[in-house]
Amino acid sequence: MTPGIDVSLAQVAAALVLVAIAIAVSFWQRAGLEEEIGIAVVLSFIQLTAIGFVIQIIFDEDRLVFVVALIAVMVGFGALTARRRASRVPEAFWPLVVALGVAATGTLGLVVALGVFEPEPRFLVPVGGMVVGNSMTASAVALNRLGDEVHSHAREIEATLALGATSTQAAAPIVRRSLRSGMIALVDSTKTTGLIFFPGTMVGMLLAGADPEDAVRLQLILLYTLLGSVALAGLISITLAYRNFFTPAHQLREPPEP
Partner 1 sequence: MLFELDGVSVARDGRKVLRDLTASLPEGASCVAGPSGCGKSTLLRLLNRLADPQRGTVSYRGHDVREVEVLELRREVCLVPQLPALLEGTVADNVRYAARLWDRDPKVERLLDLSGLDASYAERDASRLSVGEQQRAMLARALALEPDVLLLDEPTSALDEGARGAVEATLLDLRERVEISIVLVTHDLEQARRMSDWVLRLDRGHAVEQGPAHELLPA
Positions touching partner 1 (CB under 8 A) are 155-156, 158-166, 169, 173, 249-252, 255, 258
Least distance to partner 1, CB of residue 163, Å: 5
In angstroms, give the least distance from the CB of 256 to partner 1. Answer: 8
C-beta closer to partner 1: residue 32 or 164: 164
Least gap, CB of 248 to partner 1 (angstroms): 9
Q: What angle do CA 85, 90, 96 make, to 5 degrees?
A: 60
Orientation angle between helical segments 212-241 and 93-113, nearest 10 degrees: 140
Measured from the CB atom, the residue of 63 and 151 that comes closer to partner 1 is 151
Closest distance between partner 1 and the C-beta of residue 64, in Å? Answer: 48
Least distance CB 147 / partner 1 (angstroms): 19
For partner 1, the closer CB: 131 or 171: 171
Q: Which of 133, 151, 128 is nearest to 82 (CA)?
A: 133
For residue 181, CA distances in Å to 146, 187, 253 come to: 9, 10, 24
Based on CB atoms, which residue is closest to partner 1, 63 or 176?
Answer: 176
Cα–Cα distance between 16 and 1 in angstroms, integer? 21
Q: Which is nearer to partner 1, 213 or 257 (CB)?
A: 257
